[in-house]
């Protein structure tokens, strides 16, 4: 604005418009001085504004990077309560992102699903250790107690207007809901279940089946995939299952990248986050 006004002043002064110039030329000189002042000022304001905007953008990027790193570190805390599931949160988060993109979810939303999915089991920090490490089948009472982890996770993440934490809360609350309405905690069915919850449900079970646990051996890939297919339309959204089958090579590659060892998995996860330039500027 200052630049435009200055240029107009300069144009009028340089041409010496007769209506705006007295005989001795003082008015013309004054206009030239004002024009120069306004032009110089406009350039100074533009430079400072641009510099301030750049600094603001850098600060925003730093805050976004810190937020993402904190989210992933918090997810590792939940994994370290049970040293048999190292890398699980990160693997299913990457798998969920791949499936979401293949299903047509916008890239930015899929990125939020990735970062939010690492917190899907954050409520397990409130579960007793003996329950998380139990070798055998849960008793009905233990099962009811374990199912509370979704409510604890949702409670931990609620009350924020941040998009990432909002998606994380949705996933934490709904990733054990079933397509046929037989899941928990609210017995939601079909599209009542948010798409991010439906996607993570498939990824969560697939990775759990392929991993060794204190109560079971790891399944082979064929058996695990066959179970997912059999549960399509019952436990899982058929569209998600179909997409998972089409992206299976990518999901298997993630398992090969990220081992079950919690420390090694975290190092891999941290290194990838540092390389992800998109994360630094988009969240």
Phi, psi of 270 (to 5 degrees): -65, -45
Listing DSSP states for 52-98 in one string gives: HHHHHHHHHHHHHHHHHHHHHHHHHHHHHTSTT-TTHHHHHHHHHHH
Residue 152 is encoded by which pair of tokens?
A: 């604890």
Task: Count other C-beta atoms under 10 Å from residue 21's C-beta.
Answer: 18
Compute the distance between CA of residue 46 and CA of residue 143 in angstroms, rounded to an integer: 63
**What single DSSP character describes residue 218?**
P
Q: Which two tokens stand for residue 110?
A: 């899929």
Tokens of 37: 């002042």
- Catalytic one among 124, 134, 216, 270? 124
Q: Is 216 a catalytic residue?
A: no
Give CA–CA dist 240/252, Å, rounded.
Answer: 16
3-class state of residue 216 by DSSP: strand
5, 10, 18, 56 from 13: Cα distances, Å: 12, 5, 10, 39
Return all residues near 175 (Cβ < 8 A) that are at least 6 apart: 120, 150, 197, 200, 201, 204
Which residues are catalytically annotated?
A: 124
């Amino acid at each position: 604005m200052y630049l435009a006004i200055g240029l107009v002043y300069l144009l009028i002064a340089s041409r010496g418009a007769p209506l705006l110039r007295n005989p001795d030329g003082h008015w013309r000189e004054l206009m030239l001085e004002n024009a120069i002042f306004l032009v110089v000022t406009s350039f100074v304001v533009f430079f400072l504004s641009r510099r301030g905007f750049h600094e603001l953008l850098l600060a925003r990027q730093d805050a976004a990077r810190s937020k993402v790193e904190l989210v992933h570190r918090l997810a590792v805390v939940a994994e370290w309560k049970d040293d048999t599931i190292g890398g699980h949160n990160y693997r299913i988060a990457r798998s969920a992102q791949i499936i979401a993109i293949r299903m047509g979810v916008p890239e930015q939303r899929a990125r939020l699903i990735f970062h939010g999915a690492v917190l899907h089991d954050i409520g397990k920090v409130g579960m007793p250790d003996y329950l998380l490490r139990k070798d055998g089948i849960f008793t009905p009472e233990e099962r009811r107690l374990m199912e509370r982890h979704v409510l604890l996770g949702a409670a931990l993440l609620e009350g924020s207007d941040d998009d990432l934490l909002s998606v994380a809360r949705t996933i934490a609350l709904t990733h054990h809901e079933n397509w046929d309405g037989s899941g928990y905690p609210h017995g939601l069915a079909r599209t009542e279940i948010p798409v991010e919850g439906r996607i993570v449900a498939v990824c969560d079970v697939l990775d759990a089946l392929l991993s060794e646990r204190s109560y079971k051996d790891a399944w082979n890939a064929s058996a695990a995939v066959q179970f997912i297919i059999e549960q399509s339309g019952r436990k899982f959204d058929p569209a998600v299952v179909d997409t998972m089958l089409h992206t299976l090579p990518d999901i298997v590659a993630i398992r090969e990248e990220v081992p079950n060892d919690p420390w090694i998995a975290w190092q891999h996860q941290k290194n990838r986050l540092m390389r992800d330039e998109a994360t630094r500027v988009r969240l």
